[in-house]
């Protein structure tokens, strides 16, 4: 089973688009990287980004195939098209990396992130926080008389928007998981 649910060798999913345009435009891409779940593999990926000066906007990692001992790393990164191509090629060079997919160019993908927000306050602000949480379909997972912990899932922009709204209402602490992403439809 490919834990990425993308057929190997499928052309539209090729991670090696070898004809970049060398434009200066900065683009944000979401990459899915399937790796052996072995010691040090995350350090290799992070070391590559640090060593070659690439950006990491978000990074998540967890085992996705216990039997095959494979983990899936989802990286959101920003760079020129040429840099994005380099990042993919460099990732592909790491020995325990099995597959690299650029979900941004390989057709539509869903991206989700989970976040926890601690909002402290009382009176009007507390009521307003509760009301907005309802609109954003955030759950209350902990509460005291003067605080809530909301749990919210969604695209990163939705979470950003929620954070903006909560800030004046007593937002005190945030924990975000980073993006998990899958391509839409059949692999």
Partner 1 sequence: MRPQDRGLFYVRIQRVETEFENMSRQMTGAKMIVECLKDQGVDTIFGYPGGAVLPIYDEVFQQNAIQHILVRHEQAAVHAAEGYARSTGKPGVVLVTSGPGATNAVTGLTDALLDSIPIVVLTGQVPTFMIGNDAFQEADTVGITRPCTKHNWLVKETAALSETIHEAFHVATTGRPGPVLIDIPKDVQFASAAYTPIKKARVSHYQPPVKGDMASIEELVAAIETAKRPVFYTGGGVINSGPAASQLLRELVEATDFPITSTLMGLGAYPGSGKNWLGMLGMHGLYEANLAMHGCDLMINIGARFDDRITGVVDAFSPGSKKAHIDIDPSSINKVIHADIPIVGDVAHVLEDVLKVWKSRGRKTDKSGLQEWWAKIDDWRSVDCLKFEQVSQVIRPQHALSRLEYLTKDHDRYITTEVGQHQMWAAQYLNFDDPNRWMTSGGLGTMGYGFPASVGVQVAHRDSLVINVAGEASWLMNMQEMGTAVQFKLPVKQFILNNERLGMVRQWQELLHGERYSHSWSEALPDFVKLAEAFGAKGIRVDHADDLDEAIKEMIAYDGPVIMDCLVEKHENCLPMIPSGAPHNEMLLSESSTKDAIGSKGAVFV
Q: Among 82, 122, 146, 172, indicate the residue that binds partner 1 (CB under 8 A).
A: 82
Q: Among 86, 147, 153, 177, indicate the residue that binds partner 1 (CB under 8 A).
A: 86
Smaller CB separation from partner 1, 29 or 126: 29
Angle CA(40)–CA(43)–CA(46) in degrees, nearest 5? 155
Query: Does 47 participate in binding partner 1 (rule CB under 8 A)?
Result: yes
Are 44 and 120 contacting, i.e. CB atoms less than 8 angstroms apart?
no
**Best CA proximity match to 29, nearest among 63, 55, 3, 60:** 55
The distance from CA 156 to its chain's CA centroid, rounded to whole angstroms, is 8
Query: Does 1 participate in binding partner 1 (rule CB under 8 A)?
Result: no
Q: How many CB atoms lie within 10 A of CB 147?
A: 17
Smaller CB separation from partner 1, 4 or 115: 4
Query: Does 89 participate in binding partner 1 (rule CB under 8 A)?
Result: yes
**Stretch in the footprint of partner 1 (CB under 8 A) among 12-20, 101-109, 116-124, 146-154:** 12-20
**Best CA proximity match to 184, nearest among 112, 113, 108, 111:** 108
Chain residues binding partner 1 by CB under 8 A are 16, 18-20, 22, 39-40, 43-44, 47, 51, 82, 85-86, 89-90, 92-96, 98
């Amino acid at each position: 089973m490919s834990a990425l649910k993308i057929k190997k060798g499928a052309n539209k999913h090729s991670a090696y688009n070898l004809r970049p345009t060398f434009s200066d435009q900065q683009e944000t891409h979401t990459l899915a990287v399937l790796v052996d779940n072995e010691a040090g593999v995350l350090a290799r990926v992070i070391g590559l980004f640090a060593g070659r000066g690439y950006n990491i906007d978000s990074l998540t990692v967890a085992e996705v195939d216990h039997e095959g001992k494979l983990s899936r790393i989802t990286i959101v990164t920003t760079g020129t098209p040429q840099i994005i191509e380099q990042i993919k090629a460099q990732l592909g060079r790491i020995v325990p990396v099995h597959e690299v997919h650029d979900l941004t160019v390989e057709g539509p993908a869903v991206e989700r992130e989970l976040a926890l927000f601690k909002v402290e306050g009382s009176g009007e602000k507390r009521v307003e926080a509760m009301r907005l949480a309802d609109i954003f379909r955030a759950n209350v997972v902990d509460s005291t008389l003067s605080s809530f912990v909301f749990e919210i899932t969604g695209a990163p922009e939705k979470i950003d928007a929620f954070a903006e709204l909560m800030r004046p209402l007593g937002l005190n602490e945030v924990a975000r998981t980073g993006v998990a992403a899958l391509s839409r439809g059949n692999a």
